[in-house]
A and B are shown apart, each in its own frame.
Chain A
Amino acid sequence: MTPLDFVLVLFLISIAAGVLGSLIGLGGGVVVVPVLTILFHIDIRLAIGASIVSVIATSSGAAATYVKEKMTNLRAGMFLEIATTTGAISGAYLTTVLSPKFLFILFGTVLTYSAFAVYHKRHAAAVLSVSNDKIANYFQLHGSYYDEAEKQEIAYKVTGTKLGLFMMYIAGMVSALLGIGSGALKVPAMDLAMHLPMKVSTATSNFMIGVTAAASAGFYFARGQIDPVIAAPVAAGVLIGAMLGARILSKVTNGAVRIVFVVVLVVIAVEMLQRGIS
């Protein structure tokens, strides 16, 4: 396979990764890492570097549209970044203490549980109309968005901020420790703990993952894990895919997004457990 073939094939796969990632609030690493390591036999260190690039590309590519359409809860996202960024810094210090194998098994289990919980919530009342959450009220984290699938403006209240902050702290820590899985924990935090509508959860997760990844990207660049020939088609493809995906989210139902998210979460959980056991 010539470098040109490689670049073209990776570019096309990255477009698909960008569409998927932008819809369910993940960085596309779930597609990019296995494709690079299994299909192209590329060193896992370089694959993870490409995955970080893919996360930032998904985030910025989709967020431009989501913010404009009010699909992202801008205030809640920015507020929760307090926890993800501090979590990322603590994680960077814990890497030397905790064994990655143990972490993969632990988070594989946590994600399996979250997948069941997110699936279980599919029939629950869609949105809250009242909230007694003092933090959410003080910082005015509530919001509304126009749902094209339901053809109406949907206003929602936010609750469970403390639990949400705690889960976001863990999400930041995990992404610093394992280089993956930041969106996989962010979406359940907003869906399960804070009762944001599913589509708002994925769009807001999308908005946030770029900041979490940017915090560690400089580190990966300095360590020589970002190969330009791999990163260039990934960045361009994922950006284009994410811009396309962002046009779709408003048109699909919350239920459909939930099911796709659960399926991908199970795949990531299995992948993590496998890495922990082998």
Chain B
Amino acid sequence: MKNTKENTVDQHAKQRDIDPAKVRQTEIVISYVLRIGVILSVLLVSAGLGLIFAHHSSYLNFSSHTSYKSLTSSGYNFPHTVSQLFSDLAHGRGRGVIGLGLIILILTPVLRVAVGVLSFIYEKDPPMTLVTLFVLTVLILSFFLG
């Protein structure tokens, strides 16, 4: 009885003798997911900053009436709900564009875990599929608990 059980475990391990070519493909895909998220986020965040300075010339050096403190203290009203963010975006406000860039930045690791689940399914690796699926579940749960 014990023997057969060990045999199945061995077979499992053998089945999981993973194809290095597939592993390489997965690594490349995960690396691309991260890179695209990162580049998109840098572009949006910089564009948003550009918009803020374009709309408020008093923030620039040559007509320096404003101190940075008005924008970096608790009095500065910036979006912190999704609806505020969308309204800022609809009005073409720089801070809304920055917010979108930051949300893409925050979601990149989550997307990376989701791609991890798919890639372990593709590699036919059930234990690691379960592991990543568990991590993804806890991660999504934590968004709702917060």
The main secondary structure of chain B at its interface with chain A is helix
Output the nearest chain B residue to A45 by Cβ-Cβ distance.
B74
Instruction: Judge whether B118 is part of the interface by a CB distance below 8 angstroms.
Output: no
Known: A56-B109, A214-B107. A228 touches B132 (CB 8 A): no
Give Cα A7–Cα B32 distance, bound, in whole angstroms.
29
Cross-chain contact B107 with A78 (CB below 8 angstroms): no
Interface residues on A, range: 35 or more
Main secondary structure of the interface of A (DSSP, over half): helix
| A13 CB, min distance to chain B CBs, angstroms | 14
A236 interface residue (CB < 8 Å to B): yes
State A218–B60 Cα separation when bound (angstroms): 31
CB distance B49 to A232 under 8 Å? yes
B92 within 8 A of A: no
Q: Any chain B CB within 8 A of the CB of A5?
A: yes
CB neighbours of A81 from chain B (8 A):
113, 135
A165 → B minimal CB distance (Å) = 12
Instruction: Say whether B131 contacts A70, CB under 8 Å.
Output: no
Q: Is the CB of A235 within 8 A of B105?
A: yes
What's the minimum C-beta distance from B71 to chain A, rounded to whole angstroms?
4
B116 / chain A contacts, CB cutoff of 8 Å: 78
B-to-A contact residues, CB < 8 Å = 13, 16, 18, 26-28, 30-32, 34-35, 37-38, 41-42, 45-46, 48-49, 52-53, 56, 59-61, 64, 66-69, 71-74, 76, 78-81, 94-95, 98-99, 101-103, 105-110, 112-113, 116, 127-128, 131-132, 134-135, 138-139, 141-143, 145-146
B27: contacting residue among A60, A74, A214, CB under 8 A = A74
Q: Which of A70, A89, A229, A243 contacts B95 (CB 8 A)?
A: A229
A141 → chain B, closest Cβ, in Å? 10
B49 touches A5 (CB 8 A): no
- How far apart sit A92 and B73, CA to CA, in the bound complex (Å)? 26
Given A60-B37, A82-B131, the answer on whether A3 and B108 have CB atoms closer than 8 Å is: no
Cross-chain pairs A/B with CB under 8 angstroms, 23 sampled? A1-B67, A2-B67, A4-B53, A43-B74, A60-B105, A63-B112, A82-B134, A85-B142, A138-B13, A138-B127, A210-B108, A214-B106, A214-B109, A215-B139, A215-B142, A219-B146, A221-B80, A221-B106, A222-B80, A228-B79, A229-B68, A229-B95, A232-B45
- Contact of B139 with A92 in the complex, beta carbons under 8 Å: no
Let me know if B34 and A64 touch, CB within 8 A: yes
